[in-house]
Amino acid sequence: MEKEALMRYKKWLSDPSISKEDKEKLRNTDDNELQDAFYKELEFGTGGMRGIIGLGDNRMNLYTVGRASQAFANYINKSVGGSKSVVVSYDTRHMSPEFAVETAEIFAANGIKAYLFEDFRPTPILSFAVRLLKATGGVMITASHNLPKYNGYKAYWSNGAQVIPPHDEGIIQEYKAIESFGEIKRTPIEEAKKQGLIQMIGKEIDDVYFKKALSLSFHEADPSLKIVYTPLHGTGIKIVPLLLEKDGFRPYIQESQGIPDGNFPTVEYPNPEDPKAFKLSIEDAKRLNSDIILASDPDADRMGVMVKHNGEFVRIDGNQMGALLLNFILDKYSKDGMPSNPIVIESIVSSKLFAKIANSFGVEVVEVLTGFKWICNKADELRKSGKHVLFSYEESYGYNIGDFVYDKDSATAIMLTCEMASEYKKRGMTLVDVLNEAYKKYGYYFESQFAPVFEGEKGMDKIDFIMDSLRKNPPSEFAGYKLNKVTDYIQGVRDIPPSNVLKMEFGGNLMIYARPSGTEPKIKFYIMVMDFERKKDALSLLNRAKNEISKIVSAV
């Protein structure tokens, strides 16, 4: 082991708060695994703290979760006066219930009331509960769509959005200040319940959420629309089918994936962005002659869509769904009465078609950094200034409609997607037809990603090296287009905070963003081709650009 990792490892072995059993496990772990488990501490990224389950500072375990909860409690007690409370929820992953109970017990021991969900719940319900209960903050135990070996910890502030500066920075400082796990306070759950410091919650929160979501309905539900829904073994089973039924639909639930299971046994990767995750649902949809397939990821904040078009099931990607939902919502408002000061939000790496559609309706567009913590905190700021935020999205199937959830919300987005599909089905159109109409009207816009994985300490070094190389020597020409502008977000751009993102513009039709992921060991390249009259020209450039990026990364 390298010196720093060895130092952290020895500190664990000497800490009396680490159990004898866990110390013995560490002693029996090989050096390569120990190096990865101790070479750094988990940090808060775009989605909070996320890592592989196991022992070590760079792992998700009861000790690091306990440390994060103690740090969050310390920060709340130092920065907020009066009575304080947090809401704690968790997904269907391994160790999620244990991490959630641990979190609630620590807040209780620090005099902060914990509202703990009695069973797993989706991320949007956690965000909604923070706002409904007027809590000081919230914690969601989830690793979203990551592989089964991962789990995570997302911290929320009183507005129901994930923490951003100064709160995340304050929590991190408190985390670093905890030198021993012995500093973590705990009150056992049963004792805390008796003291009124832990209160179990559940269905009563769901019921209010359903009322809020249904208030956004355009009443286009048609029971004849044949829907297959899969929660991919995750938390969506708690709310999506019920919401669709309350709206007037009759969804079919993919049977095996409707069973909550942290192993995600029927999918390689529980991600609705991955077409392979739809395999079983497609089989059901063909058998049932269904019109549309919808999926949510394990914590049910993101959704994915496939629709039957010309007898085949066609995937509609996250950017395309953002454009379709935006067009549907703004068209409805334009006919029924557009709210005053309308505005929509997208992330910087999302499709530029979104802005073109919004502007055609006279609606202002705001861009923010990747991550719904930036989107929803910006929405909060805009609403306080008198703006009416109608819709927010990012390319990875994340959508938010309304003002009651301050994070991605798959259930409400799925409900409106089904309403949209219902309306167009009556006109003899699929969502693919609607998308093609939009392309003919606004031009062809296509996007793709290249996201190589570089795991471990060496992987982080590789990602840093690639970003540094692009900053110092961006390609002067790409896929036949000359470089005309580079924007480096590392120092901040306009009112966007500093972030490790590089944007390169080639001609007027090609744009590439490079950005290390905040939640996975990846560097992400977002490729955008824009404003083409012919589909084949746009797709040809997209493919050439993706191939060239792959060659550049391989050569670095």
CATH of 40-200, one of 3.40.50.970, 3.40.120.10, 3.30.300.30, 1.10.580.10: 3.40.120.10
- For residue 346, report the phi and psi dihedrals to the nearest 5 degrees: -140, 160
Q: Which CATH architecture has domain 319-441?
A: 3-Layer(aba) Sandwich (3.40)
Domain topology for 444-555: TATA-Binding Protein (3.30.310)
What does DSSP say about strands 388-394 and 398-401: parallel, antiparallel, or unpaired?
antiparallel
Q: What percent of the chain has pLDDT over 90?
A: 91
> What residues contact 534, with CB distance under 8 A and at least 6 apart?
444
Q: What percent of the chain has pLDDT over 70?
A: 99
What does DSSP say about strands 342-347 and 364-368: parallel, antiparallel, or unpaired?
parallel
Note the pLDDT tens digit of each residue in 158-171: 999 999 999 998 99
- Cis omega before residue 166 (within 30°)? yes
**Whole-angstrom distance, CA of residue 459 vs CA of residue 488:** 22
pLDDT value at residue 455: 85
Domain ranges across the chain: 40-200, 208-311, 319-441, 444-555
- For residue 494, report the phi and psi dihedrals to the nearest 5 degrees: 50, -120
pLDDT value at residue 232: 98
Query: 196 and 114 in contact (C-beta within 8 Å)?
Result: no
Buried b (16+ CB within 10 A) or exposed e, 164-190: beebbebbbebbeebeebeebbbbebe
Instruction: Judge if 208-311 and 444-555 fold alike in CATH terms.
Output: no
163-172: long-range pairs with CB below 8 Å, 24+? 163/44, 163/137, 163/373, 164/373, 164/374, 164/377, 165/497, 167/75, 167/79, 168/44, 170/75, 170/78, 170/79, 171/44, 171/68, 171/71, 171/72, 171/75, 172/43, 172/44, 172/71
Note the pLDDT tens digit of each residue in 249-266: 999 999 999 999 999 999
Note the pLDDT tens digit of each residue in 417-456: 999 999 999 999 999 999 999 999 999 999 999 999 998 8
CATH class of 208-311: alpha beta
pLDDT value at residue 300: 98
Query: 302 and 232 in contact (C-beta within 8 Å)?
Result: no
Match 């911290």 to its residue by tokens: 155
Query: 528 and 508 in contact (C-beta within 8 Å)?
Result: no
Taking alpha carbons only, the member of 63, 8, 68 closest to residue 182 is 63
**Confidence band, pLDDT 50/70/90 cuts, at residue 44:** low
**Confidence band, pLDDT 50/70/90 cuts, at residue 238:** very high
Q: Please give the average per-residue pLDDT across 218-237, as a whole number.
A: 96
Q: Please give the average per-residue pLDDT across 54-77, as a whole number.
A: 96
Q: Is pLDDT at 46 greater than 60 in this prediction? A: no
Note the pLDDT tens digit of each residue in 196-213: 999 999 999 999 999 999
Mean pLDDT rounded to a whole number for the chain: 95
Note the pLDDT tens digit of each residue in 5-17: 999 999 999 999 9
Q: Is 128 left (phi over 0), alpha (psi -120 to 50) or beta?
A: alpha
Note the pLDDT tens digit of each residue in 492-535: 888 899 999 999 999 989 999 999 987 778 999 999 999 999 99
Q: Is pLDDT at 47 greater than 60 in this prediction? A: no
Cα distances (angstroms) measured from residue 191 to each of 105, 109, 199: 9, 10, 11
**Confidence band, pLDDT 50/70/90 cuts, at residue 45:** low
pLDDT value at residue 456: 83
Query: 387 and 365 in contact (C-beta within 8 Å)?
Result: no
- Residues catalogued as catalytic: 144
